Structure 1
Amino acid sequence: MTISKEAPISLKIPLNNMENIIEVNKLKYKYDRDSEDYILDDLTFQVKQGEWLSIVGHNGSGKSTTVRLLDGLLEAESGEIKIAGEQLTAENVWEKRRHIGMVFQNPDNQFVGATVEDDVAFGLENQGLDYAVMAERVQEALELVGMQDFKNREPARLSGGQKQRVAIAGVVALRPDIIILDEATSMLDPEGRLELIQTVKTIKDSNRLTVISITHDLDEIALSDRVLVLKKGRVESSAAPRELFSRPDLEDLGLDQPFVNQVKSALSQSGFALPDGYLTEKELQEQLWALL
C-alpha cells in the first residue's frame, strides 16, 4: 500500500535541527518501592529533533519503562526529563503529552471509534477542534498512511497491519512532535512490518518528526539513525545501526544476527575472503562479484 499524499504537519515546538528535543538525566525507577532492584538506574541519554532513535535490549532492561516515563505515564523516583528544554513535572505533564504520540504493540487496545474515521477523529474531538479542521486533519492523516479508502470500515475488520496504520493515523492527526513506537510492529508479519516502518519513516522525513522506537526488529533498527542499547537499566552503548550489526554479541543483547551476517559467516567458512565488519546486501553482492 502506498502513501498518496505528504501533508505538512505543523510542529508545536520550534527547535533547530541539532537541538535536543528530549534530555534524560540520571533517571531512577523501580516498580516495587520496597525492592532494592531498580528497573532504571541513573539512565541518561539525549534525542535530537528529527532523529529516529531505536532502543533495544533484553526483556526487563527498562525499554518500555523508559518511554512510559517520557510520556508521563509513570513518575521517576529521581532524575530529570526535559522535553524541548523544559523539565517534565506533575504540573505540566498534560501539556507535554500533547507533544508526544504513542503507538503500542496491540492496536486493538487503542481503538474507541465505530469506524476508522471516527477512531482517528477521537483525539481531535477531545481537543475541541472545529469540525472543518478536524475533518481535514483526519483525511490528511489517513492519506499519509494509505488508509483513506477504509475510513468507513470497522477497525475490528481490518488486518493487523491496517490496524497499526490506523493507530499511527490517529497519532499523526494530533500533530505531535515526537512519535513513540512501543513494539508497534511485533505482531505483524515481516512484509507488513517493513511496510509500516517505511510509512513511518516517510512521515518522519517529510515533517521533521522525532521517532523513538522500542523494537527487536532488525529492519526497523536498520532504518533508524541511532541505536541505544539498554542493559540493567543503563545505557550500555549508543551507535549507528551499522556499528551495532558489526558486534559479535548481538544474541547477548536480545537480537538476532542479520541475514547478511549469517550468509557472510557461511561464505567465510567456505574460504571466501570477506572484509571485517557489517555489510549490507548490496555491499555483499559487490564483494562477491569482485571475488568471482
Structure 2
Amino acid sequence: MKSIVEVDNLSFRYDEQSEYAIKQIGFHVKQGEWLSIIGHNGSGKSTTVRLLDGLLLADSGRILIDGIPVEEGNLERIRQKIGIVFQNPDNQFVGATVEDDVAFGLENQGLSRPQMVERVDEALALVGMSEFKEKEPARLSGGQKQRVAIAGVIAMRPDIIILDEATSMLDPHGRLEVMKIIQKVRQEYGLTVISITHDLDEVSLSDRVLVMKKGQILLDTSPKGLFSQEIDLLAYGLDAPFSKKLQEELQKAGFLPEFGYVTEEELGDKLWQSLSIR
C-alpha cells in the first residue's frame, strides 16, 4: 500500500527559540493506517502535525502529502486532503446550530444545497448526532461537541484526519465513545488517522506508534511492540494502558500465566480460556 504521508529529514525552529523544536526527523504513513504520536509536552508532537498541514512551514527537509509537497503554493490542495480535530472543540465552532457548523466548510467548497444537506446528514448520522442537528453547539456536552467537530471534518471528505489531543478534555467514557467513532469512520471511508495523544488506551487502537522526545523520534514501532518492551513509559510522561495494568494484576493474583502484552480483546479471550479450564 502506498504512503500517503512522507516526511524526510525535517527540521523546524520557532523564531523566539534557539533550540530546534523538530530535528531532522523522518517517517511515513501508509494510506488507511492509524499512526499515534506520543511523548512529553514539548517533545514536538503538535509541531509535527502543524508542519504536515502547512500551518507551519519547515526550515529544512521535505513533506509530501499524497505526493504533493507541503509548500506555500500547494497549501489549499493540502488542506483539502487533511482534516484536524483539536483539543477544544469550542474553538472550531462557527455555526449557530450543529447543522450549520458541519455545513460551514462545505459552503467554501462550492457544493450545491442538495449535496451539502446529504453530506451533513450522512456525517451526523455516522457520529450519532442526527437528533441534535438543530441544537446550539454551546449547549452540548464535551463528548457531543467533539462528535460534532469530527462530523465537520468527515463532511469535507479528507483523506487524512488528524486528532490533536482530541480526547484529552473528555472523561474516560467520552474518550472511549470518540475512539469508537474514529474506528467506525476509518472503516467507512478508508481514512488515514494520525493521533497526537497522552492516552495509551487510545494508542493501543492504532497500527503504529512514534515516541518523540526533544524533537526527535526515539521509537517507531507497533503498540504491541511498545508495551512488550522493557521501557520506562513514565520517563516519557506516559502511563501503561488499562489493559496492561489489568493483565499484570491478574497475573499477580494467579488468574493468568505469564505472557507478553496482548490487546484488550486478546486479554478477554485469555481470561475466558483460563477460567474455563479451572
Counterpart of 2:152 in structure 1 is 170
The Cα of 1:286 is off from its aligned counterpart by 4.6
The Cα of 1:135 is off from its aligned counterpart by 1.1
Counterpart of 2:239 in structure 1 is 256
Selected match of 1:32 from 15, 34, 51: 15
Rounded to whole Å, the distance in 1 between the matches of 2:179 and 2:247 is: 26
The Cα of 1:268 is off from its aligned counterpart by 5.0
Counterpart of 1:96 in structure 2 is 78
Unaligned runs of 5+ in 2: none
Please say if residues 264 and 274 of structure 1, whose CA atoms lie closer than 8 Å, have aligned partners that are also in contact: no
Selected match of 1:111 from 93, 98, 103: 93
Rounded to whole Å, the distance in 2 between the matches of 1:261 and 1:102 is: 30
Please say if residues 53 and 70 of structure 2, whose CA atoms lie closer than 8 Å, have aligned partners that are also in contact: no
In structure 2, the CA distance between the partners of 1:90 and 1:285, relative to structure 1 (3 Å rule), is same
Counterpart of 1:12 in structure 2 is none
- Secondary structure of the structure 1 residue equivalent to 2:28: strand
Q: Does 1:282 align with 2:268?
A: yes
Q: Does 1:51 align with 2:33?
A: yes
In structure 2, the CA distance between the partners of 1:267 and 1:193, relative to structure 1 (3 Å rule), is closer
Deviations along 1:94-145, one digit per CA (max 9) or x if unpaired, are: 1111100000000000000000000001111122211111111111111111
Which has a greater percent of helix?
A: 2
The Cα of 1:270 is off from its aligned counterpart by 5.6
Greater shift in the superposed pair: 160-169 or 82-91:
82-91
Rounded to whole Å, the distance in 2 between the matches of 1:112 and 1:242 is: 40
Figure out how many residues of one structure are paired with residues of the other and give that number. 274
The Cα of 1:216 is off from its aligned counterpart by 1.4
In structure 2, the CA distance between the partners of 1:34 and 1:264, relative to structure 1 (3 Å rule), is closer
- Secondary structure of the structure 1 residue equivalent to 2:15: coil
AA aligned opposite 1:208: G
Q: Does 1:85 align with 2:67?
A: yes
Unaligned runs of 5+ in 1: 1-17
Q: Does 1:197 align with 2:158?
A: no
Selected match of 1:240 from 201, 211, 222: 222
Rounded to whole Å, the distance in 2 between the matches of 1:155 and 1:273 is: 47
Rounded to whole Å, the distance in 2 between the matches of 1:256 and 1:240 is: 16
Rounded to whole Å, the distance in 2 between the matches of 1:169 and 1:286 is: 37
Selected match of 1:216 from 165, 184, 198: 198
Rounded to whole Å, the distance in 2 between the matches of 1:24 and 1:153 is: 41
The Cα of 1:232 is off from its aligned counterpart by 1.7
AA aligned opposite 1:195: E
The Cα of 1:33 is off from its aligned counterpart by 5.5
Counterpart of 1:21 in structure 2 is 4
- Runs ≥4 residues deviating over 6 A: none
TM-score normalized by the length of structure 1: 0.88
The Cα of 1:185 is off from its aligned counterpart by 0.6
- Secondary structure of the structure 2 residue equivalent to 1:22: strand
- Secondary structure of the structure 2 residue equivalent to 1:91: helix
AA aligned opposite 1:277: G
The Cα of 1:247 is off from its aligned counterpart by 2.9
The Cα of 1:219 is off from its aligned counterpart by 2.4
Please say if residues 274 and 287 of structure 1, whose CA atoms lie closer than 8 Å, have aligned partners that are also in contact: no
Rounded to whole Å, the distance in 2 between the matches of 1:64 and 1:151 is: 31
The Cα of 1:234 is off from its aligned counterpart by 1.5
Identical-pair percentage: 61
Rounded to whole Å, the distance in 1 between the matches of 2:14 and 2:273 is: 50
